[in-house]
A and B are shown apart, each in its own frame.
Chain A
Amino acid sequence: MNEILEILSHSARITPEEIAKLTGQSVTAVKNAVKKYEKEGVIVQYKTVINKELLEDTHPLVRALIEVSITPQKDVGFDYIAERIYSFPEVKSCYLVSGTYDLLVEVEGENIQTVSNFIASKLSPMSNVRGTATHFLLKKYKEDGHILKKGKEKQRLNISY
């Protein structure tokens, strides 16, 4: 991956000036590259990773991973039905996978009821969906490379030769 993208993928808040210093490029070159990536859709969004389990005041949302088996359609394969599924805002991610089922869909809802209702009333009845298997998430340990546990303080001495 390009160095600018690599830096941004770890820290979305970093400024073009800082990236310039880290990579040894000019600020203008960095700005132009970022603009180009945004335009091309390479950079989709700048996000913050939040560990919601640590938020006490909000009602925690429920997530489920759903294995969906599908009968592909002539000419459009899985894409047509995938689009119908991922267009629901409840669907947080959607992947076509190899193996015993076809789509792996991640769904988020207020509680188990709302997620179940979504599956029962929206997902399962779709004409090409042959079946679903739902796994509710109980605990998140790691997400997108981030370990969701406050790290212990580093053990290094503050000064050494």
Chain B
Amino acid sequence: MEVSQKVEQLKPSGIRLFFDLVLNMKDVISLGVGEPDFVTPWHIREKAIFSLEQGYTSYTSNKGMIELRRMICHHLQKRHGLEYDPEEETLITVGVSEGLDLAVRAILNPGDKVLVPDPSYVSYPAVVELAGGKVVLLKTDIHNGFKFSAKEIDKVCAKGAKALMINYPCNPTGASYTRKELLEIARVAERRDLIVISDEVYDELTYDFDHTPLSSLPGMKKRVIYLNGFSKAFAMTGFRLGWACGPAKVIAAMTKIHQYTMLCASITSQMAALEALRGNNHDVLDMKKEYMRRRRFVVSRLNEIGLDCHMPQGAFYVFPSIKKFSKNSVEFATDLLKKKNVALVPGVAFGSTTEGYVRISYASSYENLKEAMLRIESYLKQ
């Protein structure tokens, strides 16, 4: 059967073979996982079970349960001083992944240019291409801590662009932006009249400064589609639940697509999410504290054993350079896997400029991290 040309032309994930290799191996110490190693806190799981017992098994409104939308808006108000209307400016999505797709599809016309950071989460360029847009890469590297500057955006925008996608703290690099840096980005976005799709799903895992939502900056609310979710802050990846906040018009457009393609997010997940926001944030804070320690440990060990590595400000990833040892990150990762049973993700998975890097996730127990660092050390020494 023929498949569409657009899909055919989508870059296949170049490292599918490597992934298959990892998935088929036993007793691997994996530093290649993009989700928390904590189980969803019990009070949230218990609520999901209870909702099933109570018979909550139906559809919800397309936008998601109004109680949940109200709760999210209340949470955003309390946490960041953000003012969003739960009725008109909020949509419950099936994870931030769906939110990204909806946002891009809701705003793009064929040929519109979208600035996408390089490296970025794997779906960014793909959703833009699927929506008929053109990806313009914003390159970053280890010397600027994998961050792009307002100046660079401005330069690239000279050729015209409709939107900017930003993800901070960032998967795969762990980089994040301070309020000051965001203010500069906001100024350029205004001058260049950019719509900004801001994926802030790792916001609770920001370590060196307070996370500032882009839409909280003066004048930004009307041009930002703010995406967030429950996966990282509450270790709820498998529940697939996120939200989008933005101007009523764009949320209505996103809801239109969502109602035809998804109908609504799972009610069980929405019930669990209500409970997540209702609870205190002790679990979140404990998780963050634990990740901070592991971050210090991993960065210090990696630099010690010769893999140059910057100190990331958030998420649970570090993005060291392997250039001293190998030119090819897939070869490096495959060889390390075969010889030492340690799995990590080759940098090329996340962009064109990140050959020579690997992504290491420290969402793994301290014992695992310790053992993995020893194995990598002995691998590099041979």
Interface string of A1-21 (1 = CB under 8 A from B): 001000100010000001001
A89 within 8 A of B: no
Flag if B32 contacts A160 (CB, 8 Å). yes
A7 to B289, CA, bound (A): 11
B227 within 8 A of A: no
Min Cβ gap B257→A in Å is 23
A7 to B171, CA, bound (A): 27
Determine, out of A28-36, A57-65, A74-82, A150-158, the stretch whose residues face the partner at the interface. Answer: A150-158
Flag if B296 contacts A21 (CB, 8 Å). yes
A83 to B53, CA, bound (A): 50
A24 to B22, CA, bound (A): 33
A161 within 8 A of B: yes
**Chain A neighbourhood of B370, CB < 8 A:** 18
B217 within 8 A of A: no
Min Cβ gap B119→A in Å is 11
B33 within 8 A of A: yes
Partner of B23, one of A23, A154, A158: A158
Min Cβ gap A25→B in Å is 10
B148 within 8 A of A: no
Min Cβ gap B323→A in Å is 22
* Known contacts A21-B301, A23-B296; is-contact A158 B345 (Cβ 8 Å): no
Min Cβ gap B23→A in Å is 6
A18 to B25, CA, bound (A): 30
B332 within 8 A of A: no
Flag if B343 contacts A158 (CB, 8 Å). yes
Flag if B33 contacts A160 (CB, 8 Å). yes
The 3 closest A-B pairs by CB, nearest first: A159-B32, A22-B293, A158-B30
Interface string of B87-130 (1 = CB under 8 A from A): 00000000000000000000000000000000001110000000
Residues of chain B from 8 to 63 with CB closer than 8 A to chain A in the complex:
19, 22-23, 25, 28, 30, 32-35, 37
Flag if B349 contacts A23 (CB, 8 Å). no
A23 to B345, CA, bound (A): 27
**Chain A neighbourhood of B122, CB < 8 A:** 161
Min Cβ gap B242→A in Å is 16
* Known contacts A159-B32, A160-B32; is-contact A154 B293 (Cβ 8 Å): no
Flag if B301 contacts A161 (CB, 8 Å). no
Flag if B25 contacts A158 (CB, 8 Å). yes
Partner of A157, one of B33, B37, B300: B33
Flag if A161 contacts B297 (CB, 8 Å). no
A161 to B317, CA, bound (A): 11
A23 to B366, CA, bound (A): 13
Flag if B33 contacts A22 (CB, 8 Å). no
A24 to B28, CA, bound (A): 29
Interface string of B340-356 (1 = CB under 8 A from A): 00010100010000000
Flag if A157 contacts B296 (CB, 8 Å). no
CB nearest neighbor in B for A7: B293
**Chain B neighbourhood of A160, CB < 8 A:** 32-35
Flag if A158 contacts B296 (CB, 8 Å). no
Residues of chain A from 105 to 161 with CB closer than 8 A to chain B in the complex:
154, 156-161
Partner of A21, one of B22, B23, B123, B300: B300
Residue with the greatest number of chain B CB neighbours at <10 A, chosen from A11, A22, A24, A159: A159
Min Cβ gap B367→A in Å is 9
Partner of A156, one of B35, B123, B300: B35
CB nearest neighbor in A for B298: A21
Residues of chain A from 34 to 82 with CB closer than 8 A to chain B in the complex:
none
Flag if B343 contacts A159 (CB, 8 Å). yes
